[in-house]
């Protein structure tokens, strides 16, 4: 098992509850853009790679899409299956798998999405798998929420996040995962489009958001120091018991060559 595969399969074990409760969703404008750009209407088939607790899967199911969520972590899949979907929306189906080996039939998807997940994939192998399961002319979409540290609170929050020993490695991997789709020869019409997004949280929500990261500290002494630093930042910036974490949601999209 490669290091990337091991990471994606094991690093989120035990984090499903805090992930589901404290991770941000994605802006409506980004979802609308993806639907329009990819020509996705009710009944279209979307495969959500690294679907986790189903945050992105449910957003697309709410628009009438038939979603198959693929994730290698059983804890995350169980939590996703327990989450409600809007009335009348088709419930996503969650399956064990990964970006490089989904187990799905050839030409079965109108679009493949990886939201906050593609950096756990081996890019070349995953793109070959995406090409295989996409219908001719289908679309690949990679989406990430990234901290927008032009905002003073978000910058201070980010300073604390970077004290965790693995932050630089994982966030560097995440940044590096953006470029390959733009030049992959299997796809064309590749673009990047950015959207502003915010998450308003209380103190517990802010701490939970930080602790939901795979690279947050896990040793008790380090956890306590990390949480105390977060609470200090919250105390400096909170207004009426809330803070606003600012994000830039980046959407990378490209079309399968026929």
| pLDDT tens, position by position, 203-218 | 999 999 999 999 999 9
Stretch 164-173: mean pLDDT: 93
Under 8 Å between Cβ of 251 and 141:
yes
Euclidean distance between CA atoms 50 and 60, whole angstroms: 15
Report DSSP letters for 199-243, one per residue: EEE-HHHHHHHHHTSTTS--SHHHHHHHHHHHHHHHHHH-BTTBE
pLDDT of residue 68: 98
pLDDT of residue 7: 56
Sign of CA dihedral 92, 46, 248, 210: positive
Angle between helices 203-211 and 220-237 (to 10 degrees): 140
pLDDT above 60: residue 179: yes
Name the percent of the chain in helix, strand, coil, to the closest 5: 40, 25, 35
Q: List Cβ neighbours of 236 (8 Å cut-off, separation of 6 or more).
A: 156
Q: How many CA atoms lie within 13 A of 177 on its CB side?
A: 26
Average per-residue pLDDT for the chain: 95
pLDDT above 90: residue 229: yes
> How crowded is residue 45: how many other Cβ atoms within 10 Å of its Cβ?
19
pLDDT above 70: residue 145: yes
pLDDT above 60: residue 6: no
Q: Name the residue with tokens 């639907």.
A: 35
pLDDT of residue 9: 66
Higher pLDDT, 221 or 4: 221
Under 8 Å between Cβ of 189 and 255:
yes
Largest Cα–Cα distance of the chain, in whole Å? 55
140 confidence band (pLDDT: 50, 70, 90):
very high
Counting every residue written for the chain, the total comes to 258
* Confidence (pTM): 0.94
Structure tokens at 102: 């989904």
pLDDT of residue 5: 46
Tell me the H-state helices in 25-166: 28-38, 55-61, 74-82, 123-133, 152-161
Stretch 13-35: mean pLDDT: 96
pLDDT above 60: residue 222: yes
pLDDT of residue 10: 72
Tell me the H-state helices in 23-122: 28-38, 55-61, 74-82
CA–CA distances in Å: residue 73 to residues 3, 67, 91: 15, 18, 19
Under 8 Å between Cβ of 113 and 46:
yes
In tens, the pLDDT along 28-72 reads: 999 999 999 999 999 999 999 999 999 999 999 999 999 999 999
Euclidean distance between CA atoms 192 and 226, whole angstroms: 34
| Domains along the chain with CATH numbers | 3-144+167-196+250-256 (3.40.50.150)
Euclidean distance between CA atoms 7 and 232, whole angstroms: 31
pLDDT of residue 258: 82
């Amino acid at each position: 098992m490669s290091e990337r595969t091991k990471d994606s399969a094991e690093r989120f074990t035990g984090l499903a509850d805090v992930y589901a409760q404290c991770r941000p969703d994605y802006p409506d404008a980004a979802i609308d853009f993806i639907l329009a750009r990819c020509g996705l209407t009710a009944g279209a088939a979307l495969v959500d790679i690294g679907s986790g607790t189903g945050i992105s899967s449910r957003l697309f199911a709410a628009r009438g899409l038939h979603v198959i969520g693929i994730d290698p972590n059983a804890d995350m899949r169980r939590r996703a299956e327990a989450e409600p979907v809007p009335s009348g929306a088709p419930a996503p189906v969650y399956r064990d798998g990964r970006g490089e080996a989904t187990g799905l039939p050839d030409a079965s998807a109108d679009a493949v999405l990886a939201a906050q997940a593609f950096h756990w994939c081996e890019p070349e192998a995953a793109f070959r798998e995406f090409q295989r399961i996409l219908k001719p002319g289908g679309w690949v979409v990679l989406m990430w929420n990234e901290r927008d540290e032009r905002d003073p609170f978000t910058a201070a929050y980010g300073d604390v996040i970077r004290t965790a020993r693995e932050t630089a490695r994982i966030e560097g991997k995440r940044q590096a995962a953006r470029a390959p789709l733009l030049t992959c020869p299997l796809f064309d019409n590749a673009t990047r489009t950015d959207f502003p997004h915010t998450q308003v949280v209380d103190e517990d929500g802010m701490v939970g958001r930080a602790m939901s990261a795979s690279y947050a500290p896990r040793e008790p002494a380090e956890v306590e120091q990390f949480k105390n630093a977060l609470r200090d930042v919250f105390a400096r910036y909170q207004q009426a018991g809330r803070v606003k974490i600012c994000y830039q949601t980046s959407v990378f999209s490209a079309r399968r060559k026929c």
